[in-house]
Structure 1
């Protein structure tokens, strides 16, 4: 049994929570059947971080409605904890917001994506380094995942390696040395959760689309129609637990 400390960094919309659960549930659903047990810390609500990550096999961080571009003290504390965990030999995986926070902690800039919000089922491509990285063991060079984000890591920080990208977001996955990984997409999100997330943001998505010159009423139906299974996501999470711990 692997012991995972999950740092929760926000809450999903109430309608999403009612239909498919909150962020932490998606990680548990993906990994608990494979032999993981979780301690969940609501760090965005001021939950006290342990003095060290000793006793845990891995540390993970969820996505968040908050933005790394508006840094708060709890974010800095959580980033320091993740770096300390890795320094102590405990592997760390940051997802979306977690990926961005790790990148910032390593010196990168996190900015609003000039290409606009990426949401729905998207395809990412592995770099040469990504094809060799244990996080993506057993996956093809291109695969589908679920994504939802407005911010991106502008450029990889010095010493980090880009593992995956696509046309919308060049830095979809990063390696920070042997024990820290970050992914911009959401390997924990399943199609029903993605559908709920899109529906919860219908009004905002339509406003964004019309501001970019698209016909009203087209974007949300197109996004919903494009949702597809993404088994690579669960494989990535399992790879992290099985190959890094």
Structure 2
């Protein structure tokens, strides 16, 4: 199927300290996708920019955020409505972190703070049995490294969603909602440098939680597969 455009539905922006060093989310995603930023239409949903009507001929990536789904911010609730409309059209949608949680919430799942607390750093993701037959994941490595940072999680997937991967900390790392809709709790757009920058930005909170930021920084590593997954999502489409 040939698609007319790629939307990046931006649900937040990094703190200034991260933006100064690494740029904003559109730059992170453009780099991960290996395409110029001007080939992606950026919709700053969190800033109140109007959402275009969903279209089966347009792919959308929903980004991570520094907000929480359970805050029920008006822009987020409007994006939830958009997700339901997009699903009714079988439009191609890929959700990341906040986008992952919001897709699950919008489609009838449950999102809340993870009972085990924060997941952060370079972590191992394990594919589950259903991933073997998934069109995007078939032939993928059974486990791989991914970059993560989140406090909230998908507590219960929506009806009909297929759980395709987990980590030791989180049981719902990849969800498949339909033939063209999938989401990841992990961040395919993060480089190791960005992951380290995020950890440094959370040092005080990590100390308060009894975590060791230096150990987390030492364990940061390359995580090439998640970026490939994002690119493969668009690979069969001409945009």
Instruction: Note whether the superposition's TM-score is higher than 0.5.
Output: yes
- Indicate the SS of the match to 2:86: helix
Q: State how 1:133-148 maps to structure 2 within 5 Å.
A: 133-148=134-149
Q: State how 1:188-207 maps to structure 2 within 5 Å.
A: 188-207=189-208
Find the aligned partners of 1:112 and 1:62 in 2 and give their Cα distance.
19
How has the CA–CA distance of structure 1 residues 80 and 62 changed in structure 2, closer, same or farther, with 3 Å as cutoff?
same
Cα shift at 1:88: 2.5
The residue number in structure 1 matching 2:23 is: 21
How has the CA–CA distance of structure 1 residues 38 and 107 changed in structure 2, closer, same or farther, with 3 Å as cutoff?
same
The TM-score, its normalising length taken from structure 1, stands at 0.90
CA deviation vs aligned residue, 1:183-213 (integer Å, no higher than 9, x gap): 101011110110111111111111112xxxx
Find the aligned partners of 2:137 and 2:7 in 1 and give their Cα distance.
22
Find the aligned partners of 2:184 and 2:218 in 1 and give their Cα distance.
24
Find the aligned partners of 1:37 and 1:137 in 2 and give their Cα distance.
28
How has the CA–CA distance of structure 1 residues 34 and 162 changed in structure 2, closer, same or farther, with 3 Å as cutoff?
farther
How has the CA–CA distance of structure 1 residues 138 and 14 changed in structure 2, closer, same or farther, with 3 Å as cutoff?
farther
Find the aligned partners of 1:36 and 1:126 in 2 and give their Cα distance.
34
- Indicate the SS of the match to 1:136: coil
Cα shift at 1:51: 2.9
The residue number in structure 2 matching 1:42 is: 44
CA deviation vs aligned residue, 1:71-101 (integer Å, no higher than 9, x gap): 1221111122123223324200110000100
The residue number in structure 1 matching 2:88 is: 87
Aligned residues: 236
Find the aligned partners of 1:244 and 1:72 in 2 and give their Cα distance.
33
The residue number in structure 2 matching 1:116 is: 117
The 8 Å contact of residues 165 and 175 in structure 2, kept in 1 or not, is answered as yes
The answer to whether the aligner puts 1:223 opposite 2:225 as a matched pair is: no
CA RMSD of aligned residues (A): 2.0
The TM-score, its normalising length taken from structure 2, stands at 0.92
- Indicate the SS of the match to 1:134: coil
Find the aligned partners of 2:36 and 2:51 in 1 and give their Cα distance.
26
The 8 Å contact of residues 100 and 152 in structure 1, kept in 2 or not, is answered as yes
The 8 Å contact of residues 110 and 151 in structure 1, kept in 2 or not, is answered as yes
Find the aligned partners of 2:139 and 2:36 in 1 and give their Cα distance.
17
Cα shift at 1:111: 1.1
